[in-house]
Structure formats: structure tokens, C-alpha cells
Amino acid sequence: MAAFAGDGRALRMEQPLAVGHPAVAKALATVKTADWKASQAGIADSGDLGYTYGTVSLPGAGPAGAAATGDYLKIWKKDAAGAWKIVVDVLAPRPGPPPTSATHPSRQAFLTRREGKAAIPPGGGT
């Protein structure tokens, strides 16, 4: 939590925006380890605002204990003491693998139509 500004914000999928140390700590509580790889970083000409973005891997956070991956953006601001603090932290998980072509619902619907069978039963299926 030391890296976050007192009014820092963390945004995670399917969670409300967390504002301030207690809420951010709660939002980040499930993350045990993370492998952050910055793709880009920059600092404003004023020297008091910066950003980093890149990819992240969260070991054990994916399906069946696999690593979950995502993209992140962090906005940093220098505090009065000159220390860099995170003011905004956004994490967007990458989607899991797509369904296989053999099981994808759109493939099944296509094959049903191609074979001349009604994809929707008479009466709309209800």
C-alpha cells in the first residue's frame, strides 16, 4: 500500500472503483504475487506526473490454478516529499482461450443450418 497515494484509485474487472488505502487494500487482497512487465513509461514535462503500462501475469489466478494474464495502466504522481505514488491503477484481464471450433455455439448453429435442419424449433423453442 505504500506505493499508493492516500486517495489512490484501483479499478478491477467486476469490482467497484476502490478509492483510498482501505478500499484499495481490499481490492488488491486476492493478489498474492504478480509479474509486471512495463511496455512503456513516460513523465510529463512538469516532472510531477507519469505513467506506466504493460502486461501482468498473476500466478494461480486463472482457471484450474493457471496463471491469469492481463494489461495494466498505472498513473503516478509525485507527492509533496518528492516520492512517486500511484494515483490510478487499472488492470484489465485478458480473455481466456476461445472455445474450440468443434464446440463453438456459432459453429453448431452453422452446421445445423447447412444441413437443412431448423436451428430454432417451430414456435421459437418455448
Could you confirm whether domain 4-94 is CATH 3.10.450.50?
yes
Sheet holding 35-43, edge to edge: 18-19, 4-12, 84-93, 68-78, 49-58, 35-43
Q: Which cell numbers hold the place of 125?
A: 423453442
Amino acid at 103: T
CA 74-75-76 angle, to 5 degrees, is 115
> Domain spans of the chain?
4-94
Q: Is the predicted pLDDT of residue 112 greater than 50, yes or no?
A: yes
Q: What is the pLDDT of residues 47-80, one digit of tens each?
A: 999 999 999 998 877 777 777 889 999 999 999 9
Q: Is the predicted pLDDT of residue 120 greater than 60, yes or no?
A: no
CA distances from 43 to 3, 11, 74 (A): 17, 22, 12
Average pLDDT over residues 88-105: 74
The whole-chain average pLDDT of the chain stands at: 83
pTM value? 0.70
